[in-house]
Amino acid sequence: MTIKGMKKNALCLLIIAILLVSFPFSASAHVSVSAQGAILIEQESGRVLYGKQEHTQMRIASITKIMTAILAIESGKMEEKVTVSKNAEGTEGSSLYLRAGEKIPLEDLVYGLMLRSGNDAAVAIAEHVGGSLEGFVYLMNQKAKEIGMSKTVFSNPHGLDDHENHYSTAYDMALLTRYAMENEEYREISSTKSYRSPQDGESWDRVWQNKNRLLTQLYKYSTGGKTGYTKRAKRTLVSTASKDGVDLIAVTLNAPADWNDHMQMFNWAFDTFKLVTVVEEGIVKNIEDSFYKNKVEAIEALKYPVTAGEEEDLDVQITLYEPPKSNEWEERGVPNPVGKIEVKLKNKTIGIVPLFYNGPIEVKQKSFWSKFKDLFFLINGVNSRG
């Protein structure tokens, strides 16, 4: 199999490798927020730039709908028409004023969910995608496990206070948003300021304005997000922002001054960090071993946000399998991944990029989990040279 043919699976391995490590940054006195729980992360690396009770479980209100939206998008049913049920029509709280029996595209419901925060849309989406509310909640919790949201329990698709066991953490919601922002359609919906939806059986359209004031009024670097409020959760907010190639995700839970909290965190991070390409994608140039020289490829670049003082503390270490002294690899194929690049900051691992052989000898073909096992051993040490 060629390097290009393996990139898709290898990228999954890379993502897993990077998610296995973290390197939080202490913001000390530079940031002070009103929120009970808060976090700021850099999107590409997942680095935690600021945290305040970020692992404390709290109620989350309508930022729940980020999970509802991404499941709807990933269902492959966005072009299907949804028939609104009586159950959906009667949902309390923020509403699109859907009528039982009307038909509306799932895509329009997701826009209404994210912009107008329609609780009736959440129920209609759940019933259509999951077959029932209970079925959809099961999908929500399964996806949460897949993403690594270890302190999250979903009990409904909208975030209303109708269940005791419905909560998450600022950290988990940042993980969810980071995952969702990898999806182009989610990014488009989240960043939309206004959306028009033709109404079944009517001559006039529904028009929804985005409730995220950072996006619509307050912050020029805003790229989207989701607002939330219930009496028990208070104000919750997830927002994203981008400037000079740095993409940020902020989450606040129970935050009286959430708009200011997010702008303060964003401005501080944009002033403090820059995104550095630590590992370039492609052939690794600085390998002198005659067997590997100009034949080893990093399948993905690794970028990481650092302060001016941290850049000189970055350390890149290359580890490769020791080639056999006989012609074993010529006969049986080169193992892949054949090594790793481990990046450290102040002696703490911040990322691992698998290295793949791209030379004249045939490469062994392995299953995804065989590659994962090999990568695990690479992360934890191998017989090496380089």
pLDDT higher at 177 or 375: 177
Q: Which of 45, 52, 65, 226 is catalytic?
A: 65
| Strand-by-strand arrangement of the 246-253 sheet | 48-52, 37-42, 246-253, 234-243, 222-230
pLDDT at residue number 328: 74
Neighbours of 37 (CB within 10 A): 25
Residue 34: its pLDDT value, please? Answer: 98
pLDDT at 8: 45
Q: Which of 45, 94, 117, 239 is catalytic?
A: 117
Query: Region 161-185: what's the mean pLDDT?
Result: 97
The per-residue pLDDT for range 291-313, each reduced to its tens digit, is 889 989 998 899 999 998 999 99
Q: For residue 159, what is the DSSP state? A: -
Instruction: Tell me what the mean pLDDT of segment 226-231 comes to.
Output: 98
Asked if 49 contacts 60 with a C-beta cutoff of 8 angstroms, the reply is no
Q: For residue range 315-343, what is the model confidence (pLDDT) as tens digits?
A: 999 999 888 777 777 767 777 788 999 99
Starting at the edge strand that comes first in sequence, how are the strands of the sheet with 339-345 ordered? 282-283, 296-298, 348-357, 339-345, 314-321, 384-385
68-125 confidence digits (pLDDT tens)? 999 999 999 999 999 999 999 989 999 999 999 999 999 999 999 999 999 999 999 9
Which whole number is the average pLDDT over 155-179? 97
Which pLDDT score, from 0 to 100, does residue 5 have?
47
Active-site residue, from 45, 52, 62, 197: 62
68 half-sphere exposure, CB direction, 13 A CA radius: 34
What predicted TM-score, i.e. pTM, was given to this entire model? 0.87
Known catalytic residue: 348? no
CB of 178 closer than 8 Å to CB of 250: no
Give CA separation, 247 vs 183, 235, 367, in Å: 14, 23, 33
Percent of the chain scored above 90 by pLDDT?
Answer: 73
Per-residue confidence at 24, pLDDT binned at 50, 70, 90?
low
The span from the CA of 323 to the CA of 359, in Å, is: 13
Out of 49-53, 58-62, 224-228, 332-336, pick the least confident: 332-336
Least Cα distance to 158 among 261, 33, 65 occurs for 65
What is the average per-residue pLDDT within 17-39? 70
Tokens at residue 64, please?
């729940």
* Average pLDDT for the chain: 88
Contact yes or no for 13/354 (Cβ under 8 A): yes
> What integer is the mean pLDDT of 48-71?
98
Which 8-state DSSP code applies to residue 115? I
Buried residues in 308-344 as b, exposed as e (16+ CB within 10 A): eebeeeeeeebbbbebeeeeebeeebbbbbbbbbbbb
- Written as six digits, the tokens of 163 are 């269940």
Structure tokens given for 328: 């074993």
What pLDDT shows up at residue 58? 98
* Structural domains of the chain in order of their starting residue, each with its CATH number: 3-20+276-385 (2.30.140.30), 31-272 (3.40.710.10)
For residues 266-274, average pLDDT: 96
Strand 384-385 relative to strand 314-321, pairing = antiparallel
Euclidean distance between CA atoms 275 and 136, whole angstroms = 38
* Residue 290: active-site member: no
Q: Do the beta carbons of residue 226 and residue 63 sit within 8 Å?
A: yes
Look at residue 248 and tell me whether its pLDDT is greater than 90.
yes
CB atoms within 10 A of CB 47: 21
pLDDT of residue 358: 86
Can 117 be counted among the known catalytic residues? yes
The predicted pLDDT at position 2 comes to 45
For 146-170, what is the mean pLDDT? 97
Q: How far apart are CA 302 and CA 371, in angstroms?
A: 20
Q: Which token pair is 256?
A: 């009286």
Band (pLDDT 50/70/90 cuts) for residue 151 is: very high
- Model confidence at 363, pLDDT cuts 50, 70, 90, reads low
Banded model confidence at residue 26, pLDDT cuts 50, 70, 90: low
Q: Which of 12-21, 255-264, 276-285, 346-355 has the lowest mean pLDDT?
A: 12-21
Residue 182 tokens, joined: 């990898």
pLDDT at residue 359, rounded to an integer: 78
Q: Quote the CA–CA distance of 121 and 230 in Å, as a whole number.
A: 17
Nearest Cα to Cα of residue 69 among 251, 292, 271, 225: 225
